Amino acid sequence: MDLHLPSMATTCFVSGNTFEEDERVVSRLLRRDEDGEVVRIDVQATQEAALELPKGRVACRWIQLFKPRVAEENPDKELKLTAENLFLTLADPANELSADDARLVQFLALMLERKRLIRPQGRSDDGTKDVYVHRGSKTRCEVPRGELTPEFFIAVQSQLSILVGSPELETEKAGAEEDSANEQTGPTATK
């Protein structure tokens, strides 16, 4: 699952102020209703209350510390948001997860464990989280535990449809376009 999204902004979506190094920045992924495009919105944590989101559905939210880009870094590498780096971003210990985001992180952990990109390391000391180690970076991630019920997968499907599009909507859209073409040219004859 790959998405192409802009990297973290250097200015606040609300105030337009430039982010300072180590400043808390709240980020969201959102699919806009007007054009269906997935966008990233970055805002200073102190300005979050004043945030007016564009019409659309929020897929996830996370908080991170702003780090200015180093001259040698490849910005094109950050443009590609994969399931793997979405997981690492959301599972970062500094991130405060909502219940919805915790569910998404749990699903991504299942997917990445299956692909052998993370390894299970047992449970946290309090037993409320599963511990994983990312093979590439050796990062230790704690993922909230939850029941894998049908409701869990329906909710995750809803979140993922925000990011990658809903198959039902794409099918309906294609069907509507075909109906429109048939109305204009008439039905096609078949032998």
In tens, the pLDDT along 70-102 reads 655 555 555 455 778 788 888 887 777 788 888
What domain range is 134 assigned to?
A: 2-179
| Within-domain flag for 66 | yes
| Within-domain flag for 190 | no
Tell me, yes or no, if the pTM score tops 0.85: no
| Within-domain flag for 49 | yes
Domain count, the chain: 1
Pairing relationship of beta strands 118-123 and 80-82 according to DSSP bridges? unpaired
How does pLDDT run across 47-68, given as a tens digit for each residue?
A: 999 999 989 988 888 888 888 8
